[in-house]
Amino acid sequence: MTIHREGKASLIITLVTLGIINGILWRYGASDIVLYICMAISLILFLIVLQFFRYPSRQVAKPNGHDILAPADGKVVVIEDTIETEYFEDERLMISIFMSPINVHSNHHPINGEIAYSKYHSGKYLVAWHPKSSTENERHTTVYKNKNGEEVLIRQIAGALARRIVNYMKGGEKVVQGGELGFIKFGSRVDIYLPVGTQYNVKLGQTVQAKVDVIATLEVSQNA
């Protein structure tokens, strides 16, 4: 397992800050017990930040060209038909994945294709599961178009703790399924918008892994 590139600065800042705090306590004669407790807490905090930026090596699943891979690690918290107002301006099936601070936070391309749309929006920092977070929070919308002209929209949403969304894509770029889309620092949410009637393979409360789990297929199902 490696550390994601987005974590290098945060880890250095954390390490330096904790080092300064411990150095001040030692310099001004804190008791041994206080020093030991502070060092233990510092180690725990550093490990928490370290695990947040972990970047595990995973083999990309090999589904057929219609399958949608999970773009993020986390728990499925919403499966519903809703109106997507930014790009499609019509009804879509939305699947939302909540990423807690203990999840891997890199995001990945759900399909092969071309980036048809990519736009960042500044906004609020409501808790990621709030119904209005997908339209009012800081977010970045990316739309993929595959070779058949089918489109999938991914929306990265900042949560109450997240303060930075990273998105590496520009309009017109060709991408490969499972490649890296971006990163969201600390708790957050990713929404996937698909055509109404799309067959989905997940249920509420299910935990999914990016690049590994097939969450849906673009073949329309009459029973979905």
Q: Average the pLDDT over 203-220 and give the result.
A: 90
Tell me, yes or no, whether 60 lies in a domain. Answer: no
Q: Could you tell me if 50 and 71 lie in one domain? A: no
* Stretch (H or E) spanning 15: helix 8-27
Residue 132 confidence class, pLDDT cut points 50, 70, 90: low
Q: What is the pLDDT of residue 53?
A: 82
| Known catalytic residue at 188 | yes
Domain that residue 33 falls in: 2-55
Q: Could you tell me if 142 and 40 lie in one domain? A: no
Q: Could you tell me if 30 and 111 lie in one domain? A: no
Residue 161 confidence class, pLDDT cut points 50, 70, 90: low
Q: Could you tell me if 29 and 87 lie in one domain? A: no
Q: Could you tell me if 80 and 169 lie in one domain? A: yes
Q: Could you tell me if 104 and 32 lie in one domain? A: no
Residue 187 confidence class, pLDDT cut points 50, 70, 90: low
Count of the separate structural domains present in the chain: 2
Q: Could you tell me if 85 and 176 lie in one domain? A: yes
Q: Could you tell me if 93 and 175 lie in one domain? A: yes
Q: Average the pLDDT over 106-131 and give the result.
A: 82
Tell me, yes or no, whether 99 lies in a domain. Answer: yes
Tell me, yes or no, whether 212 lies in a domain. Answer: yes
Tell me, yes or no, whether 108 lies in a domain. Answer: yes
Tell me, yes or no, whether 62 lies in a domain. Answer: no
* Stretch (H or E) spanning 133: helix 133-136
Tell me, what CATH number does 91's domain have?
Answer: 2.70.70.10
User: Rounded to whole angstroms, how far apart are CA atoms 133 and 108?
Assistant: 21
Q: Could you tell me if 49 and 78 lie in one domain? A: no
Q: Could you tell me if 85 and 26 lie in one domain? A: no
Strand order in the sheet with 214-220: 67-69, 214-220, 198-200
Name the pTM for this structure: 0.81
Mean pLDDT of the residues in the chain: 86
Q: What is the pLDDT of residue 82?
A: 95
Q: Could you tell me if 33 and 74 lie in one domain? A: no
Tens digit of each residue's pLDDT (9 = 90 or more) over 46-57: 888 887 788 888
pLDDT above 70 as % of the chain? 88
Marked catalytic residue, from 96, 134, 188, 221: 188
DSSP for 101-148 reads TTS--EEE-SSSEEEEEEEEE--B---TTSTTHHHHBSEEEEEEE-TT
The domain boundary, picked from 32, 55, 78, lies at 55
Q: Could you tell me if 107 and 40 lie in one domain? A: no
The domain boundary, picked from 14, 34, 55, lies at 55
Tens digit of each residue's pLDDT (9 = 90 or more) over 17-27: 999 998 998 88
Q: What is the pLDDT of residue 8?
A: 81
Beta bridge partners of 80: 94
Look at residue 63 and tell me whether its pLDDT is greater than 80: no
